[in-house]
Amino acid sequence: MKWGLAAAVLLAMAGCGNGGASSLPSDKDNTNSNTTTQNIQTTMNTDNKDIIVDIETTKGTVKVKLYGDTPGHRDNFVKLAREGVYEGTLFHRVIKDFMVQAGDPDSKTAKPGQMLGSGDLGYTQPAEFVYPKHFHKKGALAAARTGDQVNPERRSSASQFYIVTGKVYNDSTLGQMERQMRMQKVQEAFYALQDQYRAKIMELRRNKDQAGLNDLRDQLVKEAEQTAATAPVFTDEQREAYTTVGGTPHLDGQYTVFGEVIEGMDIIDELQKVATDRNDRPTDDIKILKVTVED
């Protein structure tokens, strides 16, 4: 047993706090602040056909493929495009070597310097993780969402999305990330077990049974560590992408990837370099003029 983890979980058990995994911070987190979890059903195609859309911006046009095996996100994006929801919205969050984010409906009428990112359409989309097939390589299109503490199902924003720019990693760094991802999975498993055994933990605390707490701690840590065997491990395809074109591997399995840029990535590369304010909003507005679904 790793003593660092054991000590941490013992403290958690002693306090019997919820302690769930926190959302990824700053440039390790592209969540917005909307906490709505209502789902509004849309008419979805039953096929697994990829759909091509053109995102026309003030910087140029980017062609994106929406994956057929994430039909909920695909059809929702198509629906919003055809209804003109994206027209006039801004790329409101831009972080170089990370991602560019858009789709906040509040950005259509935003004043200069106004903080954006919390606007949405009053519903969320169920997560559609097709991992590791779809991952956060450069050019990936993914859905923004609120953090795990308020959104444990990792449901997606109805409208906000981001395109990955990321950076290139070496094998050593990827190996370190894999170890961190395994540890995160162990911690998540422990907190789930802690909730399951909450009544028992409280009973041991009331009885001041420290030996019993220690035994239960060891049991839960052992069970949680067994989950590391199935923790995320980068595939050969992921390693090839992350060590050549780049991406944001720490987001894998956390956000729904539902498409990718197939033309115009040079425009996204230029977009990510623009000047931004302290909230990562471009100082000069970059608008989506129109999103067209190709027949």
Residues 156 and 254 in one domain: yes
Alpha carbon distance 37, 218 (integer Å) = 36
More confident residue, 140 or 195: 140
Residues 146 and 275 in one domain: yes
Residues 210 and 257 in one domain: no
Residues 83 and 159 in one domain: yes
- Closest alpha carbon to 261 in 250, 252, 271, 251: 271
For tokens 């190709």, name the residue.
Answer: 294
Alpha carbon distance 212, 201 (integer Å) = 9
Give the mean model confidence (pLDDT) for residues 48-60.
Answer: 96
Residues 189 and 86 in one domain: no
Residues 149 and 216 in one domain: no
Cβ contact 85:157 at 8 Å:
no
Give the mean model confidence (pLDDT) for residues 150-164.
Answer: 95
Domain count of the fold of the chain: 2
Instruction: Output the pLDDT for position 7.
Output: 39
Give the mean model confidence (pLDDT) for residues 62-72.
Answer: 98
Task: Quote the mean pLDDT of the chain.
Answer: 85
Across 86-193, the runs of DSSP E, i.e. the strands, are: 91-95, 99-102, 124-125, 140-143, 156-157, 161-164
Q: Which domain-ending residue is among 209, 234, 259?
A: 234
Residues 81 and 221 in one domain: no
Alpha carbon distance 237, 250 (integer Å) = 16
Instruction: Give one DSSP letter per residue of 175-242, joined into a string.
Output: HHHHHHHHHHHHHHHHHHHHHHTHHHHHHHHHTT-HHHHHHHHHHHHHHHHHGGGGS----HHHHHHH
Residues 254 and 222 in one domain: no
Residues 136 and 54 in one domain: yes
Instruction: Output the pLDDT for position 44.
Output: 46
Residue 259 sits in a domain whose CATH number is 2.40.100.10
Instruction: Give one DSSP letter per residue of 33-56, joined into a string.
Output: S------------SS---EEEEEE
Instruction: Output the pLDDT for position 46.
Output: 53
Give the mean model confidence (pLDDT) for residues 117-130.
Answer: 94
Query: Does residue 213 sit within a domain?
Result: yes
Q: Which domain holds residue 86?
A: 49-168+245-293
Residues 229 and 249 in one domain: no
Query: Does residue 1 sit within a domain?
Result: no
Residues 81 and 128 in one domain: yes
Query: Does residue 28 sit within a domain?
Result: no
- DSSP 8-state class, residue 247: B
Residues 164 and 186 in one domain: no
Query: Does residue 159 sit within a domain?
Result: yes
Q: Which domain-ending residue is among 195, 213, 234?
A: 234
pTM: 0.79
Least confident span in 4-8, 59-63, 254-258: 4-8
Alpha carbon distance 108, 92 (integer Å) = 10
